[in-house]
Structure 1
Amino acid sequence: MSTTDTTSPRDEPSTGKASPRVPSRRRRWVWITATALVLGAVAGNAVLIEQLADREPMLVLARDVAWGQQVSGPDVTTADLPADAHRFAIPEDRRHQVLGLVATQNLTAGELLARHDLSPQVIPGPGQRVVGLRLEPGRYPARGLAPNDPVAVHLTPDDTNTNSGGAAAEHGEEFSARVVRASAPDAEGAIVVDLLVPEATAPAAVEAAVRGAHVSLLGPAEE
Structure 2
Amino acid sequence: MTIETPPRPPEAPKEVSEPTPRKPKKKVNLTYVAGGVVLIILGALGAYFVTSQFTNATQVVAVTDTLKRGDTIESGDVTAFDIPEDQAKGFISADSIQDLVGQKALVDVPSGSLLTAESAGPDVTPPKGYTVVGLSLAPGQLPKTDLTAGDSVRIVDTPGAQGDIAEGTPLATSADVLSTGTIDQSGKVLVDVLVSTDDAPKLAARASTETIALVLDAPDGKSGGSNDA
TM-score w.r.t. the length of structure 1 is 0.48
Name the one with the larger helix percent: 1
TM-score by length of 2: 0.47
